[in-house]
Structures are given as C-alpha cells and as structure tokens.
Amino acid sequence: MTQVIGGFAALELHPNILAAVIATGYEEPSAIQTLSIPVILAGQDMIGQAQTGTGKTAAFALPILSRIDPAKRQPQALILAPTRELALQVASAFETYAKQMPGVSVIAVYGGAPMGPQLKAIRNGAQIIVATPGRLVDHLRRDEKVLSTVCHLVLDEADEMLKLGFMDDLEVIFKGLPAERQTVLFSATLPHSIRSIAEKHLRDPKHVKVETKTQTVTAIEQAHLLVHADQKVSAVLRLLEVEEFDALIAFVRTKQATLDLAAALEAKGYKAAALNGDIAQNQRERVIESLKDGRLDIVVATDVAARGLDVPRITHVMNVDMPYDPESYVHRIGRTGRAGRTGRALLLVTPRERRMLQVIERVTGQKVAEVRLPDAAAVLTARIKKLTSGLSPLVGDAEATHGELLDRLTADIGCTPRALAAALLRKATNGQALTLAEVEREQPLVPNNGASRGERSERPERSGERSERSERSERGEPRERRAPMPLADGRARCRTALGLRDGIAAKNLLGAILNEGGLVREAIGRIQVRESFSLVELPEDGLERLLTKLKDTRVAGKQLKLRRYRED
C-alpha cells in the first residue's frame, strides 16, 4: 500500500494535533491511517476493516481531535469499546494526541469504577467520551440527554462488542444520540450482524479495508500444551523450570491476571513484573528498561499494554491465555525471533480452545507442535543443571580464598567437609526439592500430563457448552428436571432476578460479567437461564470483591444484582 508523500503533514490534520504526533516519534502513517484520516476529516460515515495492531486508534483519534472545538464544554465525540482495558487504552491515546490542545478533556467511562465522578466529568464538559456500552447505558438511564451534543461516534472493534452480547445496549445508545452525526465503525470482520448495524445506522458509508498478510517468523519455534484453565499457573511454573530463556513475555487477557501471575512468579524467585492498561506511562517505561538491562527477566502483559514493546533479549513468548484472533497471536510471538535471532513461542490451550488453535494453524500455514508438561525427572534435571551452572564459576579459586575458613569451620562444628558442604547447599537452595521423590510430591501434575486428546479432556468442553444448551432447552424443560446442577470445585453459584421474561440470554450475562468483572471466559462456569431468574457459577476465590465490582452492572437495561445463591 503506497503512502501519502509527506507523511502525516500531508493529511491536513490540525497543526496542534500534528505537533503532538511528531512529538510521539511517529513519522509515516500506516495504511489504515492514510486511508481513513481524509474520510473522517471530511465528515463522512465510514466502515474501517483492519486488524488490531494496524494503527487504527490513531486512524480515528487524529481526525476526530482535529474536528473538536475546545471552546465548547460539552461531549462532542463518543468512542465505544468492548472492554474496559481497550477503553482505557483508547482514552490514553486521545490524551496523548491532545496534549497540545488546551481545553480538550477526555473521560473513560467503564464498569468497576464509581459512576458519580464519571457523570460529573461528562457534565463538566469533557469533549471526548470513551466508554464501554454497559456502563454508558447506566449513565443514559440517569440522564437521557447525556449524549445529546455528540456529533462523532466511533464503534471500535464492533465485532467484539457483538460477541460480548452488547447488541441491546448499542441500540439504547443509538437512540440517545442525535440523528445528525458522523458514525465510524471499525471491525476486523464484517459478519451479517455488523452489516445490519451499518445499514441501519450509517449514512452512505465509505468502506476502507486494509489487507493484512499473516506470516510468522520461521526462526520462531512454536509449541502448544493442552491444559485445564484452573491449572495454568502451575503449568507455567512447571514449564519455566525447564525452559532455558534469557527474557520472556507472558500474555494474559486481563489486568488482574497480569498481577496474579506476576505475583506467583515473584513468589518462586523469578524477576517478574506486570504490564497492563492501568500502569502509568513512567512506570511502564521503567519496566521495559528493566527488562532490557536484565533487572527483570519476565513481563506479564495484556495485548494492549504490550503494544510497541521491542526488547532484543526476549527469547521466549508464552501465551498463557489464548489470543482472540490469529493476527493477535502472530503479533504476540513476533516479540521474539527478531533480527535473525531464534525464538520460542509456547501456547497454553484449554480443551474448548482447540478450534482456535486449528484456526491459528490454518491462517498462519504453520503447525504448532504439541508438547507435554515436563515430568518430575525433567524438572529435577533442570534444577541440578541450574545449580551446577551457578556454582561452577565459583569453584576455581574457592579453595585458595576460603580453604582455611573451611578447615576452621569443620573443626569448630566437628563435622566432615562433605557434611558442611551439604549443609551449605541446603541453605543455598532454600529448601528447594532436589530429589525425585520430593519433586513428585511438590508439583501436582495436570491430569493426563497436560490434558491429552482422550476422553478425559473432552469433559470440560462438553460441560462448558452446556450453558448455551441450557438456554435453548429452558422453555421446554419440565420443572422437575430444573434442579441446579452440581457445582464444580472452586466455584460458587450466584443468582440474579433477571430471566427469560426479561429478554435475557446466557450470552448477555456472559458478556456483561466478562466485560465489567474483568474475568477470563474459563473462570465462569455454567449459566442457567430460567423464566424469572438465572444462575451463574463464578469463582469462589474473590467472589465478594467480584460481586462488588458488578453491583452497578446492567444487562439489557436492567440491573444485574448478582448475589450468592443459598439453596437452603
């Protein structure tokens, strides 16, 4: 794709916006920016088809900011994003590009944060609102005119919004917007549902599409490991025991997952840190510098937070959580194997994610080989090897420098040099298991050594599918067969008064909880939708904190009000 001569300067952006772009270090617009910016600047409706990582945020942020009137203290642009994390990332991008535009204010509106300050910021004249659909609908219920002055609407990652069940919320939002407005829709794919939205709410839109060729670097060795969702952390710790890496980036889906995994790694002695959308820019820079110079060896990051991260010493990428699409997978593993170096990419796959693995293999045209979880013997061998490599450089002149001290200590203690050496080893290894029997007791194995392709690994997939089947069969199922199903270990059953009579489907509940609760899909168990209520299985660990986060969440315009279900 040819680019406009003169880079960003040729795109007729507002001078202050152009200055901010130059200050960030960007020189040439990407293909989607070159095609989109003139269309949006002209005020035309547009459908942009581009993958994550192509620069689409700047493609709509730069022209919209160029059309904002700082003197008008009222909402002028609304950007809808499917998740809190993406909303924060987009809001941060707007703030960066608006640094040299005094008077322009940006507010991120999302669940899990108090509503009062958000509504106050809007009423005080924030010109740019970046919001998740669910929380924005909550604000519309309080003030139906909150969007009455918006003249620019952007739906970012529209296909993801529909996957998360936000169709009803989008319709409520469309009704709250002025009819005379510019609407821009970005989506990686254009299924029928997206085309229906475009036909209904966009006026003669221009279709802008950027073709992306997905190719992986042949220098990257790829492998996947089948594992159950609740055993990912133990699987990661086991893998790291035997993987010989210099620096590693581990990808997860949520902010909380970055914190949890980084804490688990630190507890095992690894130099690790989290990187997510809530990390301040100066702290993010410190983390990256620490990874570059060796003060850190592992960074646990979300896709959004890892954008632009380029550290030459990264030898391994570990996909702890499955990426949402093949393009994201390619983008992730491209963090290693750069400049002619080799790299290794590991992917943890839960039973229900096998189809996505097949899609990744088909799109990339490369087989992702299956590996097994290292057994206790492999872990023991790796530990002794690390111990040996750590002690070998110290042996050379040790007798000359510490020989007399050794003689004195053995005399004072009354032991042999062998006994003293063994005691010092025990102290140096800090109680780490270094016999086969101890390692076997210490590390519980994932069933079937990584969830083999046999019968056992299929069960979670079938039980996970049951949530959708229960919704389809609910109306025809006899009442006596509707007793709550047995709970899985580590889960608690919660109840909401919303049910079939409220127009609720399992996907609506799933989307709302994923979006506002910050959970991964595997953390949520069965969803049973009844006529007058619904039951949802949630993680027992941290349940009260989760319910607090979800207390203001709305589904199909009604409050979710989840609470623990007491069957007695």
CA distance 29 to 43: 20
122 contact partners, CB below 8 Å, separation of at least 6: 75, 107, 109, 129, 139, 146
- pLDDT score recorded for residue 53: 57
- pLDDT score recorded for residue 393: 82
What are residue 61's phi and psi, to 5 degrees? -70, -45
CA distance 551 to 394: 58
Asked, colleague to colleague, whether 7-209 and 220-375 share their fold, the answer is: yes
Band the pLDDT of 213: cuts 50, 70, 90.
Answer: low
- pLDDT score recorded for residue 487: 67
**Tens digit of each residue's pLDDT (9 = 90 or more) over 229-263:** 888 998 998 899 888 899 999 999 888 889 999 99
Give the CATH architecture of domain 7-209: 3-Layer(aba) Sandwich (3.40)
Domain residue ranges of the chain, discontinuous segments joined by +:
7-209, 220-375, 377-442, 458-564
Greater model confidence, 9 or 452 = 9
pLDDT of residue 474 exceeding 50, the answer is: no
Which range of 145-159, 382-396, 418-432, 552-566 scores highest in mean pLDDT? It is: 145-159
CA distance 256 to 300: 11
**Tens digit of each residue's pLDDT (9 = 90 or more) over 147-182:** 999 999 999 988 878 877 888 899 999 999 999 999
CA distance 310 to 314: 8
Place of tokens 């802008």: 208
Cα dihedral angle (60, 66, 67, 71), rounded to 10 degrees?
130
CA neighbours closer than 13 Å in the CB half-sphere of residue 110: 24
Element (H, E) at 225: strand 220-226
- pLDDT score recorded for residue 37: 94
Band the pLDDT of 353: cuts 50, 70, 90.
Answer: confident
SS3 state at 492? strand
Q: How do beta strands 128-131 and 77-80 pair? A: parallel
- pLDDT score recorded for residue 298: 95
Burial (Cβ within 10 Å: 0-12, 13-18, ≥19) of residue 107: buried
Which range of 76-85, 130-139, 325-334 scores highest in mean pLDDT? It is: 130-139
CB 112 within 8 A of CB 549: yes
Which range of 12-26, 68-82, 532-546 scores highest in mean pLDDT? It is: 68-82
Band the pLDDT of 479: cuts 50, 70, 90.
Answer: very low
Give the CATH architecture of domain 458-564: 2-Layer Sandwich (3.30)
- pLDDT score recorded for residue 262: 92
297 contact partners, CB below 8 Å, separation of at least 6: 245, 246, 247, 248, 270, 271, 272, 291
**Tens digit of each residue's pLDDT (9 = 90 or more) over 413-443:** 999 989 988 888 888 777 677 777 777 766 5
Cα dihedral angle (272, 275, 276, 280), rounded to 10 degrees?
120
Q: Can you name the CATH fold of 220-375? A: Rossmann fold (3.40.50)
- pLDDT score recorded for residue 230: 82
Share of the chain above pLDDT 90, in %: 28
- Residue among 301, 297, 320 nearest 309 (CA): 301
CB 238 within 8 A of CB 450: no
- Residue among 477, 458, 462, 479 nearest 526 (CA): 462
**Biggest CA-to-CA distance, the chain:** 92
Q: What is the sign, positive or negative, of the torsion defined by CA atoms of 466, 491, 329, 51?
A: positive
- pLDDT score recorded for residue 473: 37
List 78's β-bridge partners, or say none. 129, 153
